[in-house]
């Protein structure tokens, strides 16, 4: 089969899912795996990734932001995302550097849209503004029972001698987290070409291997040794 001229372009991969499913752990592991295959890559997160977007992150997740409501939050997350795309994601991809993001636009769809009740049209309009054509090439949805994920986070906090404080989304009730999980699964079903759902209810190494298998199947050039 003839390779398309774009076969070896830098890829944009996002990780999505509920709280504590292991996204940040696996973003770091995938970054290492890519680097071991001589792929230049960076990792980032949302909300955040650039100084302006990090400022919006603290504004939304802490302090008095509860009164803003899901609609205004969707707008704020989109403003942060626009800066993140323009300042970090697009320039890296243009330079041939793969970008791995811990959360991206599906989090707005799931949290503010499907769970928060913000109208689909507003979500779609904000997405088109913020993404500016930079949709992810692949989205890995890490899926597990939210109660089990919460226990993981709590156990780790006890081991580390930390108080479990959490941001305000983490403090929502269990049935809210179950709806959130269903929201991410619905997004994956609606976007089968872009999204892969992987069970996060396995140890870190097994999950890392499952993710590497999915990524290298999706981008076979990784195993062909064709990355400079």
Ligand X SMILES: Cc1cn([C@H]2C[C@H](O)[C@@H](COP(=O)(O)OP(=O)(O)O)O2)c(=O)[nH]c1=O
Known binding site for ATP: residues?
A: 17-24
CB 38, min distance to ligand ADP, A: 25
Cis amide leading into 172 (omega within 30) = no
Can you give the binding site for ligand X, defined by CB under 6 A? 19-20, 23-24, 46-47, 61, 77, 103, 107-108, 111-112, 167, 169-170
Q: Which does 120 bind (CB under 5 to 8 A by kind): ligand ADP, ligand X, none?
A: none
Q: Is 103 left (phi over 0), alpha (psi -120 to 50) or beta?
A: left
Can you give the binding site for ligand ADP, defined by CB under 6 A? 19-25, 152-153, 156, 203-204, 207
Q: Which does 203 bind (CB under 5 to 8 A by kind): ligand X, ligand ADP, none?
A: ligand ADP
d(CA 45, CA 23): 10
Q: Which is nearer to ligand X, 111 or 219 (CB)?
A: 111
- Are 138 and 15 within 8 A, CB to CB? no
d(CA 57, CA 215): 29
d(CA 110, CA 189): 13
CB 225, min distance to ligand ADP, A: 29
Q: Which does 43 bind (CB under 5 to 8 A by kind): ligand ADP, ligand X, none?
A: none
């Amino acid at each position: 089969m003839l390779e398309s001229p774009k076969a070896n372009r830098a890829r944009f991969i996002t990780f999505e899912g509920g709280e504590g499913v292991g996204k940040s752990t696996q973003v770091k592991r995938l970054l290492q795996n890519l680097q071991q295959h001589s792929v230049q890559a960076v990792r980032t997160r949302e909300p955040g990734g650039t100084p302006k977007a990090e400022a919006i992150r603290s504004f939304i997740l802490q302090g008095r932001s509860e009164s803003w409501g899901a609609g205004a939050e969707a707008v704020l997350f989109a403003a942060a995302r626009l800066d993140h795309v323009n300042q970090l994601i697009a320039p890296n991809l243009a330079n041939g550097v793969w970008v791995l993001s811990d959360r991206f636009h599906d989090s707005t769809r799931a949290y503010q849209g499907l769970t928060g009740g913000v109208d689909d049209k507003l979500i779609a309009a904000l997405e088109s503004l913020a993404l500016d054509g930079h949709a992810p090439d692949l989205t890995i949805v890490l899926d597990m029972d939210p109660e089990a994920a919460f226990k993981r986070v709590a156990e780790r906090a006890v081991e580390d001698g930390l108080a479990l404080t959490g941001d305000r989304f983490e403090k929502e009730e269990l049935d809210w987290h179950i709806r959130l999980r269903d929201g991410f699964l619905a997004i994956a079903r609606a976007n089968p070409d872009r999204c892969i759902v992987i069970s996060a209810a396995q140890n870190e190494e097994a999950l890392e291997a499952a993710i590497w298998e999915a990524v290298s199947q999706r981008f076979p050039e990784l195993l062909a040794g064709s990355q400079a």
